[in-house]
Amino acid sequence: MVRWLAGAAIALSMTTTAVADVVKFEKVTDNVYAFIGEINDRTKANLGLNANIGLVVTDAGAVIIDTGAGPLSAAAIEQAAQKITDQKIVAVFNTGSQDHRWLGNDYFAQRGATVYAMDTTVATQQAMLDSILNRIKGVDEIFHDQTPMHAPEPLTGPNASVTIGSTVFEVKYFNDAHFPGDVVIWLPQSEVLFSGDHVYVDRLLGVHPHTDAVKWVDAYDQMIQLPAKYIVPGHGAVSDKAKVQRETGDYLAQLVEAIMAVQEDFGAIDDVTPSRDWSQFQHLRHYDGWHGRNVSNTFMRLEMQ
């Protein structure tokens, strides 16, 4: 009995330490912080947090942007936030519908936070729920205890504004991006843009079978007009506009343009990559694994149109 208790206590404390170490918020500018997640795959060790999370400290409480892949990652986010501020977490926002953007909603709601998401985002969270859950269940048993919770009163798109204390959060849907219904959160007062999965830096973005790259280009082109001083991307380090343009905007535009040109000439998927110079993107992590997939997923979708 004593031995079992000691074992359980050690296991528990190890879990607590491991969880507490996963998330660390770094300052972006006054009262705005970001956790920059790993740019590799979701694992048990990163609690599914291979994505970025935001923390904004207002004079009416703390606000989290994207809530993590479930209760464990939400707890890690909460603990990391408490190291920055002793303010209670009063609200959370979702920028998208992938697991790590919203499956921690229930955890924060149970502790009194209001959950904000736009109607376009909630529609995708609902439509893709089974595939979202199935995808992460394969990773590890720590992803099995999700309680999916959607914003009870979704914001009406395409532009919504929520003021918490004296801080304004503008939620903007431009067009479908990485997932249908993705939004960005724009903080006009501090000129910080939480771009969600509209932007990937340091690693190559991913075009999935459900991703419409043409719409993503359109969403990106509108988004990049915002006078952002700091962009917290969906994945990769906090960046300025120039880096975001080089690593997301230029790649997306070239991908779509190259495929359209090949299709106009009745060419095949294999003609796309040799038709352009991609060397400026080859340093991005996962280029070797993802570029080919991006070409074929985009090619096939454009062919259907």
Q: Which residues in this chain contact Zn ion in the complex, by CB under 5 A? A: 197, 234
Quote the least distance from Cβ 280 to Zn ion, whole Å: 22
Q: Which is nearer to Zn ion, 32 or 199 (CB)?
A: 199
Which one, 61 or 234, has the nearer CB to Zn ion? 234
Residue by residue, DSSP assigns the chain as: -HHHHHHHHHHHHHHHHHHHHH---EEEETTEEEE---SS---TTTTT--S-EEEEEETTEEEEES--SSHHHHHHHHHHHHHH--S-EEEEE-S-SSHHHHTTHHHHHHTTPEEE-BHHHHHHHHHTHHHHHHHHHTT-GGGS-------SSPBPSSEEEEEETTEEEEEE--S--SSTT--EEEETTTTEEEEEEEEE-SB-----TT--HHHHHHHHHHHTTS--SEEEEEESS-B-HHHHIIIIIHHHHHHHHHHHHHHHTT--HHHHGGGS--GGGTTSBTHHHHHHHHHHHHHHHHHH-
Find the shortest distance in angstroms from Cβ 225 to Zn ion.
Answer: 22
Residue with smaller CB distance to Zn ion, 57 or 201: 201
Tell me the residue nearest to Zn ion as measured from the CB: 197
CB of 4 to Zn ion, least distance (A): 41
Q: Which is nearer to Zn ion, 48 or 234 (CB)?
A: 234
* Nearest residue (CB) to Zn ion, 197 versus 212: 197
CB of 51 to Zn ion, least distance (A): 5
Query: What's the min distance (Å) between Cβ of 294 and Zn ion?
Result: 14
